[in-house]
């Protein structure tokens, strides 16, 4: 253990993964080593105050992929949000700082979410002008993602093969006291290299030896009134004169114990190093973003000290009183600052790509 390991709760250390995430109506919580074989979260007994027959309406899940090309950053996702399905695709052009967004609301039956991430399981969604397919072979450290979208922002299509670079982040976080209610948020995030192409409005972008990706598989029962913050990066980092793969994940959500249950970590080549809870502050409310904003992300122990210079934001706002009130912002820009691993080694992030979320959601059914 390194000199900063004392700031990491023992509950954040990975343990062997049970075959079933849910058993006898209850969910396991913690940090795990490998993929779950089954995650029947609809079988949880009373994850919300609503009757179990309404679990499918209160449950949300998505599989998202982020890919860092030299020219820009792709985000693509399909999701089942309980009362509707969706495909979201965004491209942030680093050269122009332009954000292009394709957002499609679908019927739930137009979306199929993978039950796990093993043995060729598939998450896919399709609707007029849009399709996304994610084929998951995480037992071999592999995945394939492809899709296409057409809309006001033009056309975009992609086909990418992904190979895992590091250990995964697999967590199950309680959003209420498990003695009272099993209300989980599960997420698995993995760092990959990527091979393939992306074509946007006639320009084809090719991957290279430094093209990096993250897959985010996400399932859970958010509180009726929820907020979360998120910041990530992925790429190749030059430390001590040697270039190595590097990424991080930083999130603040409704975890009942931020120290014991969070998903904050650094992906290092073939390894991970855990990070403590963090706080987000912003120079302006994201809803008021125009051309520039500054986000700052810090912990209490000096392991995380990041400035996120935001140059582009996608604003997704849905207000359908009294059922839905959502303000969802996805931000893109550049990082400044550093993170420390548990041994105290500093990774200066200046100039690396940043992607973040600022989401506030109220759904009352």
DSSP string, 164-183: E-S--EEEEEESS-TTT---
Averaged pLDDT for residues 339-358? 97
pLDDT of residue 325: 86
Three-class SS state of 43: helix
Averaged pLDDT for residues 100-128? 96
pLDDT digits (tens, 9 = 90+) for 261-296: 999 999 998 899 999 999 999 999 999 999 999 999
Averaged pLDDT for residues 97-118? 96
Domain count, the chain: 1
Residue 339 · residue 349 · CB < 8 Å: yes
pLDDT of residue 198: 98
pLDDT digits (tens, 9 = 90+) for 33-52: 999 999 999 999 999 999 99
**Residue 271: burial class (beta carbons within 10 Å; 0-12, 13-18, 19+):** exposed
pLDDT digits (tens, 9 = 90+) for 166-182: 999 999 999 999 999 99
Three-class SS state of 342: coil
pLDDT of residue 219: 97
pLDDT of residue 326: 87
Residue 157's beta-bridge partner residues? 148, 199
pLDDT at 364 over 80: no
pLDDT digits (tens, 9 = 90+) for 117-154: 999 999 999 999 999 999 999 999 999 999 999 999 99
Tallying the residues shown for the chain, one arrives at: 365
Q: Which is it for strands 22-23 and 242-252: parallel, antiparallel or unpaired?
A: unpaired
Residue 118 · residue 137 · CB < 8 Å: yes
Averaged pLDDT for residues 241-269? 96
Averaged pLDDT for residues 187-194? 98
Query: Among the residues of the chain, which ranges form H helices?
Result: 55-58
pLDDT digits (tens, 9 = 90+) for 54-93: 999 999 999 999 999 999 999 999 999 888 899 999 999 9
pLDDT digits (tens, 9 = 90+) for 212-240: 999 999 999 999 899 999 999 999 998 77
Rounded Cα distance between 144 and 190, Å, is 13
Residue among 329, 352, 355 at smallest CA distance from 339? 352
Q: Which is it for strands 30-31 and 169-174: parallel, antiparallel or unpaired?
A: antiparallel
pLDDT at 322 over 80: no
Alpha carbon separation from 108 to 98, 124, 192 (Å, rounded): 31, 11, 29
Range of the domain at 243: 5-363
Hey, what's the torsion of the CAs at 10, 11, 12, 15, to 10 degrees?
100
Contacts with 145 (C-beta within 8 Å, 6 or more apart), sequence order: 65, 76, 132, 133, 134, 135, 158, 159, 160, 162, 215
- State if pTM tops 0.85: yes
pLDDT of residue 46: 96
* 210: CATH: 2.40.370.10
Rounded Cα distance between 190 and 69, Å, is 17
pLDDT at 1 over 90: no
Rounded Cα distance between 69 and 72, Å, is 5
**pLDDT above 90 covers what percent of the chain?**
92
The average confidence (pLDDT) of the chain is: 96
pLDDT of residue 319: 77
Rounded Cα distance between 334 and 311, Å, is 8
């Amino acid at each position: 253990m390194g000199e900063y390991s004392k700031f990491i709760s023992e509950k954040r250390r990975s343990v062997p993964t049970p075959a079933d995430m849910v058993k006898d109506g209850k969910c396991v919580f913690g940090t795990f080593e490998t993929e779950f074989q089954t995650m029947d979260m609809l079988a949880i007994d009373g994850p919300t105050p609503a009757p179990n027959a309404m679990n499918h309406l209160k449950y949300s899940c998505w599989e998202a992929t982020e890919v860092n090309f030299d020219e820009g950053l792709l985000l693509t996702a399909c999701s089942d949000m309980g009362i509707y399905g969706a495909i979201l695709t965004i491209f942030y052009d680093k050269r122009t700082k332009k954000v292009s967004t394709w957002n499609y609301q679908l019927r739930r039956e137009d979306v199929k979410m993978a039950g796990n991430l093993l043995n060729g399981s598939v998450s896919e969604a399709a609707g007029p002008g849009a399709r996304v397919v994610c084929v998951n072979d995480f037992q071999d450290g592999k995945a394939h993602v492809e899709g296409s979208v057409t809309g006001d922002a033009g056309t975009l299509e992609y086909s990418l093969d992904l190979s895992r670079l590091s250990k995964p982040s697999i967590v199950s976080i309680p959003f209420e006291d498990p003695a009272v209610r099993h209300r989980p948020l599960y997420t698995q995030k993995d760092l990959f290299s990527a091979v393939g192409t992306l074509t946007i409005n006639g320009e084809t972008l090719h991957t290279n030896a430094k093209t990096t990706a993250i897959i985010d598989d996400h399932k859970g029962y958010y509180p009726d009134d929820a907020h979360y913050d998120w910041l990530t990066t992925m790429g190749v980092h030059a430390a001590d004169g040697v270039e190595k793969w590097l990424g991080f994940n930083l999130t603040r959500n409704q975890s009942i114990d931020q120290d014991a249950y969070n998903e904050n970590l650094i992906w290092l080549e073939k390894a991970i190093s855990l990070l403590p809870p963090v706080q987000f502050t912003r120079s302006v409310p994201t809803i008021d973003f125009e051309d520039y904003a500054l986000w700052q992300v810090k912990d209490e122990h000096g392991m995380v000290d990041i400035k996120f210079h935001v140059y582009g934001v996608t604003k997704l706002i849905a207000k359908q009183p009294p059922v839905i009130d959502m303000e969802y912002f996805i931000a893109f820009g550049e990082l400044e600052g550093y993170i420390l691993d548990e041994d105290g080694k500093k990774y200066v992030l200046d100039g690396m790509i940043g992607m973040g979320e600022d989401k506030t959601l109220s759904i009352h059914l």
